[in-house]
């Protein structure tokens, strides 16, 4: 599949400098790309490759100054990284649109509903009363439970399991191996020291334009719904417990765990391996540093936290600076103590 520089410029609202008929059929990194490939420059660290790359077409920022001639056809755009992401998305969309039909062997229940241009990969299982929207792509070895709804244009990658009654919105991407709607971790302690399972009768709702990484687990609610709001992005290996709500456009990095019934606000950023206890609220715009442990509600929007237990980021940096200086501070205190003792001794002898 080939594209000309003119076609690319139209897609990303860019301005061409060079040959408008230059063609590309694949993508490459600026330092490695060859003829017939498209690359981009967004990070100044790679500016040296602007003059040596063999890419046929190159996306750069409008403000990028050229210190010498460039062999590639250039397309100037407001944001090269965003433009490149747009092109990759379009390319992926075109590739997946070619997939349609139900491969054998697969099982699709008679009471299930499949929309237009749906693809169901081999060894997949679509249960009773499931509703699959238009242009949905379900790759091999996917399980779709009873009464699951998957809206238009969503992509479910290999090995994903979606339990009964869960709802998946439009343009959702769920990567390989993730589990949506497994039982929440609910057990009632008994007098004899054992634990009685609390049935989990709720579901999971994933709203539009959410992306869930590989091997993530989003547990169903005890009652009601565990909700991932529109635009949220979840990395690989994330645990979202029962009745959690994740706000709009919140991003969560790998290996984060969020305990039950916690409400995470909109536009929150959570770094890798952070842990959040249950039954608290995280205000909109909060930034939680990697490996932090959040043990109480964050009430003020746009707060930055770090540490375990997590507290104000700036205060933590000051504390770390003091901690690094503790040996020197100890030495100075000992010198002051010796000086005080000497002064007291001299006073006593007078």
Across-strand partners of 209? Answer: none
pLDDT of residue 59: 96
Homologous superfamily in CATH for domain 3-97: MurE/MurF, N-terminal domain (3.40.1390.10)
pLDDT of residue 97: 74
Catalytic position from the list 164, 175, 242, 279:
242
Q: pLDDT-based confidence at 177, cuts 50/70/90?
A: very high
Q: ∠ CA(214), CA(29), CA(22), 5° rounding?
A: 120
User: Rg of the Cα trace of the chain?
Assistant: 28
**Where does the chain have alpha helices with state H?**
5-12, 80-97, 313-324, 326-349
pLDDT of residue 99: 87
Q: Which of 36-45, 86-95, 187-196, 219-228 is predicted least confidently?
A: 86-95
User: How do the domains of the chain map onto residue ranges?
Assistant: 3-97, 160-309, 322-349
pLDDT of residue 16: 96
In degrees and rounded to multiples of 5, residue 257 shows phi and psi of -125, 130
pLDDT of residue 9: 95
Greatest C-alpha distance within the chain: 105
Does the structure show a pLDDT above 90 at 320?
Answer: no
Instruction: Give dist(CA 170, CA 90) in Å, integer.
Output: 16
Over residues 280-286, mean pLDDT: 98
Give yes or no for a contact between 148 and 169, defined as CB atoms under 8 angstroms apart: no
pLDDT by residue (tens digit) across 64-108?
Answer: 999 999 999 999 999 999 999 999 888 888 877 778 899 999 999
Question: By C-alpha distance, which of 33, 31, 32 is closest to 22?
Answer: 33
What is the domain class of 160-309 according to CATH? Answer: mainly beta
- Mean of pLDDT over the chain: 94
242 counts as catalytic: yes
Which H helix or E strand runs over 225?
strand 225-228
Percent of the chain with pLDDT over 90: 83
pLDDT by residue (tens digit) across 226-236?
Answer: 999 999 999 99
Give yes or no for a contact between 181 and 219, defined as CB atoms under 8 angstroms apart: yes
pLDDT of residue 311: 66
Over residues 41-68, mean pLDDT: 94
What are the residues whose beta carbons fall under 8 Å from the beta carbon of 271, sequence distance 6 or more? 253, 256, 288, 289, 290, 291, 292
Instruction: Give dist(CA 178, CA 49) in Å, integer.
Output: 38
Does the structure show a pLDDT above 80 at 316?
Answer: no
Dihedral angle over CA of 115, 121, 125, 131, nearest 10? -10
Domains 3-97 and 160-309 share a fold: no
DSSP secondary structure code for residue 1 in this structure: -
């Amino acid at each position: 599949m080939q594209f000309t520089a003119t076609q690319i410029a139209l897609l990303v609202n860019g301005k061409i400098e060079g040959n408008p008929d230059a063609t590309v059929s694949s993508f490459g990194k600026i330092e490695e790309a060859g003829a017939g490939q498209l690359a981009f420059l967004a990070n100044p660290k790679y500016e040296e490759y602007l003059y040596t790359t063999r890419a046929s077409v190159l996306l750069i920022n409008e403000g990028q100054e050229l210190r010498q001639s460039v062999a590639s056809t250039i397309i100037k755009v407001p944001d090269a990284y965003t433009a490149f992401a747009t092109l990759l998305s379009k390319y992926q969309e075109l590739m997946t649109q070619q997939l349609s039909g139900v491969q054998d062997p697969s099982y699709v229940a008679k009471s299930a509903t499949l929309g237009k241009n749906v693809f169901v990969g081999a060894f997949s299982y679509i249960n009773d009363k499931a509703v699959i929207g238009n242009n949905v792509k379900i790759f091999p070895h996917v399980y779709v439970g009873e009464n699951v709804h998957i809206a238009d244009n969503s992509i479910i990658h290999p090995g994903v399991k979606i339990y009964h009654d869960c709802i998946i919105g439009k343009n959702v991407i769920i990567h390989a191996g993730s589990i949506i709607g497994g039982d929440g971790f609910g057990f009632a302690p008994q007098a004899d020291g054992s634990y009685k399972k609390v049935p989990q009768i709720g579901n999971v709702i994933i709203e539009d334009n959410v992306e869930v990484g590989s091997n993530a687990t989003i547990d169903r609610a005890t009652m009601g719904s565990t909700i991932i709001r529109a635009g949220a992005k979840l990395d690989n290996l994330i645990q979202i417990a029962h009745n959690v709500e994740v706000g709009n456009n919140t991003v969560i990095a790998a290996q984060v765990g969020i305990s039950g019934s916690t409400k995470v606000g909109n536009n929150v950023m959570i770094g890798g391996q952070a842990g959040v206890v249950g039954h608290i609220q995280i205000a909109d715009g909060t930034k939680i540093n990697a490996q932090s442990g959040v043990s109480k509600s964050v009430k003020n929007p746009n707060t930055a936290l770090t540490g375990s237990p997590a507290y104000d980021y700036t205060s933590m940096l000051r504390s770390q600076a003091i901690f690094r200086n503790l040996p020197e501070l100890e030495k100075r205190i000992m010198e002051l103590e010796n000086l005080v003792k000497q002064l007291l001794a001299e006073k006593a002898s007078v």
